[in-house]
């Protein structure tokens, strides 16, 4: 499933509103994200947490470079399953 829009503090409620859709799909294509701040990392963590609590795996693909930089900055590379 392709993520779209802003993954910022303002856009977080919209992302969380479709969290179950992402989890059901099992994969989130992050290439459609138009704006990112540190909230995006929190959203990735929350989506991963929700998937694990349902006994499901969730992977992220095609992450924008800025998001990969933030994930690396917070040293969460090993915790989040993000593929190029």
Strands annotated E in 1-84: 2-7, 27-36, 59-61, 82-83
End-to-end CA distance of the chain: 15
In this prediction, residue 33 has a pLDDT band, given cuts at 50, 70 and 90, of very high
Every domain of the chain and the residues it spans: 2-83
Range in 12-16, 25-29, 65-69, 78-82 with the lowest mean pLDDT: 78-82
CATH class of 2-83: alpha beta
Checking if the pLDDT of 26 tops 80, the result is yes
pTM for this prediction: 0.94
């Amino acid at each position: 499933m392709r993520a779209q829009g802003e993954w910022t503090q303002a856009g977080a409620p919209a992302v969380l509103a479709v969290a179950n859709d992402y989890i059901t799909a099992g994969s989130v294509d992050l290439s459609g994200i138009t704006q990112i701040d540190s909230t995006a990392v929190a959203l990735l963590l929350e989506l991963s947490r929700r998937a694990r609590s349902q006994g499901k795996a969730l992977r992220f693909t095609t992450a924008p470079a800025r998001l990969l930089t933030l994930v690396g900055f917070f040293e969460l590379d090993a915790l989040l399953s993000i593929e190029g």
